[in-house]
A = this chain, B = another copy of it.
């Protein structure tokens, strides 16, 4: 008998760690694997409530032979006999003092006077439960509740030594299943919180794209420019990491993304006549056009979280040789995010058709960028674009 008790300490200790596992699938796998390993039973499984689908799902069955689950049994709806037995108030009294349903109890329960007398469907339900347990090869089913709602059912196959589970063990499994249900619920809440954050983040990026692209309505030459430049810039930054010329972290890559989205936002302050003038701008007009860099910074300044992105907004028209604007920065004075956007921006401008001229071929544009390395462009982002072109990615 002592061997039967031995596993408890180990299982209890292991179940303590469950709280820190925030992946429900993994959690359920670990629990079932632990039980099969420690308790020496042929197999075990767990049915877990899936709130999205409002039904119970057999998440895993594990063991020497595995459950023989007939097709279509992976989902257990709320009327499935095993679920109904544990979930419906009128049936729950049947298992209340046992904390579980065990096959060898079912006949005894059926013949109990109360079940016989009431004619409340309890007898029929118990027959069906026995049937289902036989089909899935479980000798005991242990429910786990959280906030008085059934969260999971632990399915236990027969012991390897053929012994029955005693009440003390069933109570232990009930506690374990309840811990597991809570850990699973905790993990689900975590995933929901992360998913929520992810959705908001995604909405932030897409709304920024849509609003930044809205300025293109006024600028009839640049339809889709913001989106394309953003894609090129992010790809260039990633390529620089891949080819070993930079070791940007996630935060930097994200900043390249945001900064590219917003790089031309200051054009909203440039009069339409200048924005849409076909051909060369006069000196005066060009001076006004140039202000879109510093205008962009003014517009975005209230957003303190985006202060790193201002580098790209302000300096994406600087040149490596110092001949750019608005500040005439040189070489390494130019922030890398701006140097990356400069390459992406110029590449897109060169290969896009304008009403007054056809765009270059990609080949020509890449050659042009190559010949302007260390004149207009920094070496690494220009080189990364050339590689992306050679790989057929831009």
Q: Is A272 an interface residue (CB 8 A)?
A: yes
Q: A246 interface residue, CB < 8 Å from B?
A: no
Stretch at the interface among A42-50, A112-120, A121-129, A302-310: A302-310
- Take A189-B190, A196-B197 as given contacts and tell me if A182 and B300 are in contact as well, using a CB distance cutoff of 8 Å: no
Compute how far the CA of A9 lies from the CA of B186 in the bound complex, rounded to whole angstroms. Answer: 23
Q: Is A265 an interface residue (CB 8 A)?
A: yes
A contacts with B: majority SS: helix
A69-77, A207-215, A325-333, A382-390: which one contacts chain B?
A207-215
Q: Is A185 an interface residue (CB 8 A)?
A: yes
Contact: B193 with A19, CB < 8 Å? no
Q: Which residues of A in the span 261-289 have a Cβ within 8 Å of any Cβ on B?
A: 265, 268-269, 271-272
Query: Quick one: which of B186, B196, B201 contacts A20, CB cutoff 8 A?
Result: B186
Q: How far, in angstroms, from A178 to B17 measured CA to CA in the complex?
A: 10
Q: Which of B182, B200, B206 contacts A201 (CB 8 A)?
A: B200
Q: Are B269 and A207 in contact (CB under 8 A)?
A: no
Cα A217 to Cα B199 in complex, Å, equals 31
Contact A207 B210, beta carbon cutoff 8 Å? no
| Closest B residue to A265 using CB positions | B214
Number of A residues, CB within 8 Å of B: 46
Assembly CA distance A183 to B16 (angstroms) = 10
Q: Please, could you name 20 A-B residue pairs with CB atoms under 8 Å apart, sorted by A?
A: A16-B175, A17-B182, A19-B19, A190-B193, A193-B194, A193-B197, A196-B197, A200-B204, A203-B306, A207-B303, A207-B306, A208-B211, A210-B299, A210-B302, A211-B211, A211-B212, A211-B299, A214-B299, A217-B295, A217-B299
Please give me the residue from chain B that is nearest to A258 by CB atom.
Answer: B207
> A17's closest neighbor in chain B, by CB?
B182
- A305 and B193 within 8 A (CB): no
- Output the least CB separation between A143 and chain B (Å): 15
Flag A72-100 by CB within 8 Å of B: 1 or 0 each.
00000000000000000000000000000
Interfacial chain B residues near A299, Cβ < 8 Å: 210-211, 214, 217
Q: Which residues on B sit within 8 Å (CB–CB) of A178? A: 16
How many Å lie between the Cα of A178 and that of B20 in the bound state?
Answer: 12
Min CB gap A185→B, angstroms:
7
Is A218 located at the chain interface by the 8 A CB criterion? Answer: yes
Q: Give every chain B residue within 8 A of A16 (Cβ-Cβ).
A: 175, 178-179, 182
Nearest CB of chain B from residue A261's CB, rounded to whole Å: 10
**Pair A19/B183 contact, Cβ less than 8 Å:** yes
CA distance A305 to B186 in the complex (A): 27
Q: Which residues of B contact A186 (CB under 8 A)?
A: 19-20, 186
- The chain B residue with its CB closest to the CB of A209 is B302
